[in-house]
């Protein structure tokens, strides 16, 4: 009986500490926008991994032409930063692709293990389109008690701000007929 009581007491004291020591959890963010174009017309503009002319944050892209899984593109941002992105999945029939950025300068984006889906879906029977950018990532600081600029809130705010700028710029680009 004493041994059982000792085990129960040890479990009660140790288990809360184990729960607090797990580290960061995966974060997610999605941004959607509807546009007055057919999904096929939108996909023609955004569906090529080597072309980010529609992205208002991008100055230039260096990549092999085409949409082969495993293709790597180097994206130079207008603010001077550089991102290296790998095409992880591509499905033209579903008008969707996924990229990964396993290495990121946390000064540009305070995250790690970033992956992103870009998907175009039909609305109103295919007369309009919905563009969705969905991301999953971890905060930049992998341990407990992260600094304020590398915590979950900072990661979520940075990803949300980036996605909002991208979809707003994309909508303006599509509306202008570029």
Q: pLDDT at position 20, please? A: 52
Angle (deg, nearest 10), helices 152-175 and 39-46: 110
Beta-bridged to residue 108, according to DSSP, are none
Say which residues have a Cβ less than 8 Å from residue 81's Cβ, sequence separation at least 6.
105, 107, 108
- Nearest CA to 101 among 88, 89, 114, 87? 114
Could you report the per-residue pLDDT of 91-143, keeping only the tens digit for each? 999 999 999 998 899 999 999 999 999 999 999 999 999 999 999 999 999 99
Per-residue pLDDT tens over the stretch 29-81? 999 999 999 999 999 999 999 999 999 999 999 999 999 999 999 999 999 99
- A 10 A CB-CB count for 43 gives 20
pTM attached to this predicted model: 0.83
- The model's pLDDT over 71-98, given as tens digits with 9 standing for 90+, comes to 999 999 999 999 999 999 999 999 999 9
CB of 154 within 8 A of CB of 139?
Answer: yes
């Amino acid at each position: 009986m004493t041994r059982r009581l000792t085990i129960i007491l040890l479990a009660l004291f140790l288990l809360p500490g184990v729960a607090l020591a797990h580290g960061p959890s995966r974060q997610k963010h999605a941004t959607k926008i509807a546009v007055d174009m057919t999904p096929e017309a939108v996909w023609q503009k955004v569906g090529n991994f080597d072309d980010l002319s529609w992205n208002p944050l991008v100055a230039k892209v260096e990549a092999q032409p085409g949409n082969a899984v495993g293709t790597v593109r180097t994206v130079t941002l207008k603010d001077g930063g550089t991102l290296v992105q790998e095409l992880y999945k591509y499905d033209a029939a579903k008008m969707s692709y996924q990229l990964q950025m396993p290495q990121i300068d946390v000064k540009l984006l305070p995250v790690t293990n970033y992956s992103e889906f870009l998907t175009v879906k039909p609305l109103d029977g295919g007369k309009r389109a919905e563009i969705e950018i969905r991301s999953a990532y971890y905060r930049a600081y992998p341990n407990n008690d992260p600094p304020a600029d590398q915590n979950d809130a900072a990661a979520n705010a940075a990803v949300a701000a980036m996605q909002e700028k991208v979809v707003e710029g994309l909508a303006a680009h599509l509306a202008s007929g570029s």
